[in-house]
């Protein structure tokens, strides 16, 4: 206890009494070292909770029990053995006793460790795969194995936010007060105490610097596109915030027809947990997922969300359009969902039909299966792509109102054993042929003069179908070369016909042209061809109105071997015994539910936890936000609202595929995007002049990346403009760019130093570090270089991390105080004290009077 502390305590005891007693108590508390220790323990505990998942913390009791068990196992043989050995060797020299006891300890310890490892640990060790072994709270541990407390729904904080939360702030404020009070009241302000004083001063300085730093800190990144033909890339005047996100809303368009986005910050958006995943699904509506028993991971646990999206000043969006956040999925895929809905007015309905497939072993003939279906297939009759379901063995096509000609073609009976068949009609001669074909088949067609050659029989179209309405649809295709010699006035014909098994309406002819590029046209009507693909079990179902005017479903079943049978009406909804076989194993089909109209909506489907990339948990990279767009009721219309799930875009302005277009009932359009908040670069702009990836020898892994960046004043910036001349800087790993102020070699060292110190306090001074690059572009261009097609590899963009560092020099000053103060306190002060003692001892020995020293 220092004399200063004794003096202060004595003074307080004498003077701070009565009404001042609380002051004395407070002073004592804040002068106390135990207070500091308690606060430091609190900080450590807080850090533990912030960084370690609660599931991992819950394992501590198990670990303690296991450790205790191991120690007991060691102690049980070792302690008695040592006791007995000592007793037996009590008369022997101590050295000998020690050696014997030492080796006994080692031997028994080793033996027990092996016993533990081989005999006990394998049955004690917990395995999550089968639940064997010992683990207290195993379900809790498993459920929260990667959930830190700050991620729980009631908190939803990043690490930075959690450490900036009031309990931590309060603890740090109390600690700083404690530190200052204890320093002033306990430590003598003397030369020898400079060490501890500077350490304490350093900590306080760092704390003050951190407050300033946190107040103005901004960080994010910016993507700089490369230029063409040796020119710098387009200038970037903004950067994307690291954490803050916004809803991008555009109603107006720019002069070049691009959406004119405005940002609406989503400050209270959750980060880790799901909310309102069912938003957008009408209440009480039956969904297709429910009908098909498709499991959608329920991660919101009933939590909902309802946040207003604030409108910015000067918004260009009509004021009657309201936006709310009604759902959030932190890690999900956007998927289609279907709900039953009234048919839209003025648009064709999209009926839905479910077909169930049953399998029964050794079934009784004609018996209706009483088991659950093995597959359930949804069909949406208004969408060609959703009228067909298939796998490698079978295909089902469900149509409504199939034309009679196609129905007749599909029923055509070829001889058995074929896999591909063509039905050919030549109207001119009235000929109709049904012939099995293979690739390469060539034959003349009767007396018509036509001849054909099968060029290709493909299970998929050679090119994706892009006809509107048929997107994502697929069909097997026969490419038939047709030719006919000239007769009389009729010129010779020769072209290739693409014949679709599923969509005859898409058939087309490709006629060679002198340019070498074939000309597409509708099929020549002088010859009609249908293609039957019998490579797998084909089932064709058609809803139609029969001769008596009743709605019914008719069916055709074609075996892979070519045999065909048809049923004119599935009156009971069953199509039995699709593949007759000797074992009487039955595959049956049942026509199940039907909706008059199905409406497609989007919904988030959470990715199972085990499939999530842990490195992006805590970012919005895979997040979806549910936005309700609404219009109030007016005299001319009802109130309207619709929920849209918007995927996150890292660079919202350029990732156009992540945008969602909203068409309001009155025809107005709105564009929505969800992405990181964009902030302007204060008065300067950046453009990429050049980029290079420097690899280890022999094209090994990247060793460094360097972006040559040009910094220019931004004349369009509305705020105060910094004064600087344009310059270029090579940004490399560990060699950031400082802008707008930078170290100018043309200026003196002193001027540069002062500028830099001043910039260190300026929130508008940024540092830009190499952060990302266009790996695939670089690799692809490297291949072109190897082929001699390019001079050098290139990247299409670079990404620079950007952040300001306001007050970093204050923090640095505090760090210097600490770094110097510690050795002073530990090593220099004892030297001073020792020297002082020696001096006093010498004085004492020489008989001189003792001087006050401290």
Partner 1 sequence: MISRTARTITRLLAITLLCAPSLAQQAPDGNAHPATQEVTQNADQIVNPFGEPVVTDMSIEQKTAFADAVDLTPLSESTVFHNGRVKIMSTLARETVSRITGKTKYFDLIIEQNPDGSTKSIKKVRYDPMFTLMDIMIDPIYYLDRPLVGINYLPLRSAILDLYEQDPANQGVSFNREGWLKTGMVSPRMANRYATPAFNKYSDSEPFRTAVGRLDQATRLFTNSVGNLELIAPANRSDPWKHLGALPADAPARVAATQLADAWRKGDAAGANSAITALAQALAEINPQTQQAASPGLEALYNKVNAFEWGLWIYLFSLVALILAFGTGRKSLATIGVVLLFVALAFHGFGFTLRSIIAERFAIQNQFESMTGLSFFAAIVGTALMLWKKQWLFGAAAAGTGFLILITATTTGIPGEHIEREAAILNTSVLLKYHVTTVLTSYGLITLGFIVSLFYLGTYYGAKFFGSQAATAGGPSLASGALGHLDSDDTGKPMGLQRTLKDLDTATMTILQLAFWTLGVGILLGAWWADHSWGRWWAFDPKETWALVTWIVYLIVIHVRFTGLKNRGLTTAWLSVGGFIVMLWTYFGVNLLLPGLHAYA
Segment near partner 1 (CB under 8 A); pick from 262-270, 331-339, 340-348, 697-705: 697-705
Residues 303 to 342 in contact with partner 1, rule: CB under 8 A: none
Long-range contacts, 424-429 (Cβ 8 Å, 24+): 424/452, 424/527, 424/528, 424/529, 425/527, 425/528, 425/529, 426/450, 426/526, 426/527, 426/528, 427/525, 427/526, 427/528, 428/526
Question: Are β-strands 394-400 and 537-545 bridged in parallel, bridged antiparallel, or unpaired?
Answer: parallel
Least distance (Å) from partner 1 to the CB of residue 127? 5
Q: How far apart are CA 331 and CA 744, in angstroms?
A: 46
How many C-beta atoms surround the C-beta of residue 527 within 10 A? Answer: 22
Exactly one of 3, 361, 699, 850 binds partner 1 (CB under 8 A); which one?
699
Exactly one of 6, 15, 21, 51 binds partner 1 (CB under 8 A); which one?
51
The reply on whether position 716 binds partner 1 by CB under 8 A is: no
Exactly one of 33, 64, 492, 519 binds partner 1 (CB under 8 A); which one?
33
Exactly one of 796, 813, 828, 832 binds partner 1 (CB under 8 A); which one?
796
The reply on whether position 4 binds partner 1 by CB under 8 A is: no
Exactly one of 18, 191, 228, 364 binds partner 1 (CB under 8 A); which one?
228
Residues 249 to 308 in contact with partner 1, rule: CB under 8 A: 255-256, 258
The reply on whether position 783 binds partner 1 by CB under 8 A is: no
Least distance (Å) from partner 1 to the CB of residue 798? 10
Q: Which residue lies nearer to partner 1 by CB, 218 or 539?
A: 218
DSSP 222-248: EEEE--STTPPPPPB-EEEEEEEEEEE
Q: How far apart are CA 772 and CA 409, in angstroms?
A: 58
Q: How far apart are CA 598 and CA 380, in angstroms?
A: 8
Exactly one of 10, 17, 23, 40 binds partner 1 (CB under 8 A); which one?
40
Exactly one of 631, 773, 781, 806 binds partner 1 (CB under 8 A); which one?
773
Residue spans of beta strands (DSSP E) within 612-726: 624-631, 640-649, 660-663, 669-680, 684-695, 702-713
Exactly one of 696, 716, 743, 831 binds partner 1 (CB under 8 A); which one?
696
Q: Which two structure tokens, joined as six digits, stand for 652?
A: 């919202």
The reply on whether position 67 binds partner 1 by CB under 8 A is: no
Contact predicate 329/274, CB 8 Å = yes
The reply on whether position 619 binds partner 1 by CB under 8 A is: yes
User: Is the alpha carbon torsion for 518, 524, 526, 531 positive or negative?
Assistant: positive
The reply on whether position 217 binds partner 1 by CB under 8 A is: yes
Q: How far apart are CA 421 and CA 530, in angstroms?
A: 8
Segment near partner 1 (CB under 8 A); pick from 156-164, 308-316, 356-364, 633-641: 156-164
Least distance (Å) from partner 1 to the CB of residue 41? 7
Q: How far apart are CA 326 and CA 626, in angstroms?
A: 5
Contact predicate 623/606, CB 8 Å = no
Rounded to the nearest 5°, which phi and psi values hold at 758?
-65, -40
The reply on whether position 704 binds partner 1 by CB under 8 A is: yes
The reply on whether position 72 binds partner 1 by CB under 8 A is: no
The reply on whether position 426 binds partner 1 by CB under 8 A is: no
Q: Which residue lies nearer to partner 1 by CB, 511 or 655?
A: 655
Segment near partner 1 (CB under 8 A); pick from 23-31, 37-45, 365-373, 723-731: 37-45
Q: How far apart are CA 286 and CA 337, in angstroms?
A: 10
Tell me the number of residues near partner 1 by CB under 8 A. 104
The reply on whether position 181 binds partner 1 by CB under 8 A is: no
User: Is the alpha carbon torsion for 595, 601, 606, 608 positive or negative?
Assistant: positive
Q: How far apart are CA 485 and CA 491, in angstroms?
A: 7
Exactly one of 338, 398, 705, 741 binds partner 1 (CB under 8 A); which one?
705
Least distance (Å) from partner 1 to the CB of residue 804? 8
Exactly one of 26, 63, 76, 79 binds partner 1 (CB under 8 A); which one?
79
Question: Does residue 774 have a cis bond before it (omega within 30 degrees)?
Answer: no
Least distance (Å) from partner 1 to the CB of residue 829? 11
The reply on whether position 41 binds partner 1 by CB under 8 A is: yes
The reply on whether position 97 binds partner 1 by CB under 8 A is: yes
In the DSSP assignment, the letter for residue 741 is S
Q: How far apart are CA 130 and CA 139, in angstroms?
A: 12
Closest CA to 297 of 554, 14, 612, 565: 612
The reply on whether position 771 binds partner 1 by CB under 8 A is: yes
């Amino acid at each position: 206890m220092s004399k200063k502390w004794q003096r202060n305590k004595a003074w307080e005891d004498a003077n701070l009494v009565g009404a001042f007693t609380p002051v004395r108590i407070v002073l004592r508390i804040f002068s106390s070292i135990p207070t500091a220790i308690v606060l430091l323990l609190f900080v450590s505990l807080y850090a533990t909770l912030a960084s370690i998942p609660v599931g991992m913390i819950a394992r501590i009791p198990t670990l303690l029990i296991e450790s205790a068990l191991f120690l007991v196992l060691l102690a049980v043989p070792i302690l008695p053995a040592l006791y007995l050995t000592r007793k037996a060797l009590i008369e022997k020299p101590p050295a000998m006793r020690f050696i014997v006891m030492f080796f006994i300890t080692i031997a028994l310890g080793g033996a027990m460790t092996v016993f533990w490892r081989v005999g006990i640990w394998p049955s004690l060790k917990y395995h999550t795969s089968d639940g064997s072994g010992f683990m207290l709270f195993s379900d809790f541990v498993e459920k929260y194995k990667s959930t830190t407390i700050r991620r729980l729904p009631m908190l939803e904080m990043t690490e930075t936010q959690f450490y900036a939360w009031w309990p931590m702030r309060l603890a740090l404020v109390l600690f700083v007060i404690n530190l200052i009070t204890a320093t002033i009241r306990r430590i003598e302000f003397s030369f020898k105490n400079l060490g501890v004083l500077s350490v304490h001063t350093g900590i306080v300085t760092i704390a003050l610097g951190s407050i300033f730093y946190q107040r103005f800190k901004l960080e994010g990144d910016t993507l700089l596109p490369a230029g063409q033909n040796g020119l710098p890339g387009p200038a970037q005047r903004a950067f994307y915030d690291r954490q803050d996100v916004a809803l991008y809303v555009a109603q107006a368009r720019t002069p070049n027809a691009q959406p004119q986005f405005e940002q609406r910050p989503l400050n209270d958006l959750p980060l880790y947990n799901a909310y309102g995943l069912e938003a957008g699904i009408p209440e009480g509506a039956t969904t297709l997922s429910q009908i098909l028993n498709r499991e959608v991971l329920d991660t919101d646990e009933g939590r909902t969300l309802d946040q207003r999206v604030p409108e910015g000043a000067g918004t260009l969006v009509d004021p009657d359009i309201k936006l709310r956040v009604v759902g959030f999925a932190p890690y999900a895929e956007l998927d289609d969902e279907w709900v039953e809905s009234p048919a839209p007015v003025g648009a064709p309905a999209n009926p839905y039909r479910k077909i169930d497939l049953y399998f029964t072993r050794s079934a009784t003939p004609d018996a209706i299966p009483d088991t659950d279906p093995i597959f359930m297939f949804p069909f949406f009759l208004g969408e060609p792509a959703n009228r067909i379901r298939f796998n490698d063995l079978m295909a089902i096509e469900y149509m409504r109102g199939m034309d009679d000609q196609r129905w007749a073609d599909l029923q055509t009976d070829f001889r058995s054993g074929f896999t591909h068949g063509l039905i050919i009609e030549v109207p001119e001669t009235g000929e109709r042929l049904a012939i099995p074909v293979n690739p390469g088949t060539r034959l003349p067609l009767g007396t018509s003069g036509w001849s054909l050659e099968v060029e290709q029989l493909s299970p998929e179209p050679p090119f994706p179908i892009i006809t509107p309405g048929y997107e994502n649809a697929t069909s097997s295709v026969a490419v038939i070369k047709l030719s006919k010699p000239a007769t009389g006035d009729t010129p010779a014909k020769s072209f290739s016909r693409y014949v679709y098994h599923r969509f005859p309406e898409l058939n087309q002819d490709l006629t060679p042209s002198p340019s070498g590029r074939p000309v597409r046209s509708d099929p020549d009507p002088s010859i009609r061809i249908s293609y039957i693909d019998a490579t797998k079990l084909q089932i064709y179902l058609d809803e139609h109105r029969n001769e008596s005017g009743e709605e019914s479903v008719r069916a055709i079943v074609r075996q892979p071997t070519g045999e065909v049978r048809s049923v004119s009406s599935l009156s009971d909804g069953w199509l039995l015994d699709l593949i007759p076989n000797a074992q009487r194993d039955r595959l049956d089909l049942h026509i199940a539910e039907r909706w008059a109209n199905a409406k497609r909506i989007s919904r988030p489907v959470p990715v199972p936890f085990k499939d999530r990339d842990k490195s992006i948990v805590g970012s919005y990279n895979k997040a979806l936000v549910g936005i309700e767009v609404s219009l109030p009721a007016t005299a001319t219309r009802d109130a309207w609202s619709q929920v849209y799930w918007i995927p996150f875009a890292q660079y919202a302005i350029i990732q156009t595929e992540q945008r969602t277009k909203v068409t309001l009932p009155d025809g107005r359009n709105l564009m929505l995007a969800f992405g990181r908040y964009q902030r302007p670069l204060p008065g300067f702009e950046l453009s990429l002049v050049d980029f290079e990836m420097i690899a280890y020898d022999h094209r090994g892994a990247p060793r460094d990346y360097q972006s040559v960046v040009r910094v220019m004043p931004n004349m369009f910036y509305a705020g105060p403009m910094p004064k600087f001349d344009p310059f270029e800087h090579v940004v490399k790993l560990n060699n950031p760019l400082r802008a707008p102020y930078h170290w100018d070699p043309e200026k003196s060292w002193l001027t540069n130093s002062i500028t830099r110190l001043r910039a260190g306090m300026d929130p508008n001074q940024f540092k830009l570090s190499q952060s990302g690059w266009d790996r695939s572009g670089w690799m692809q261009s490297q291949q072109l270089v190897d082929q001699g097609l390019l001079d050098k590899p290139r990247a299409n963009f670079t990404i620079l991390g950007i952040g300001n560092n306001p007050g970093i020099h204050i923090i640095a000053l505090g760090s210097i105080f600490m770094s110097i103060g510690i050795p002073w306190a530990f090593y220099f002060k004892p030297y001073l004290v020792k020297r002082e003692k020696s001096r006093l001892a010498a004085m004492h020995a020489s008989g001189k009077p003792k001087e006050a020293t401290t």
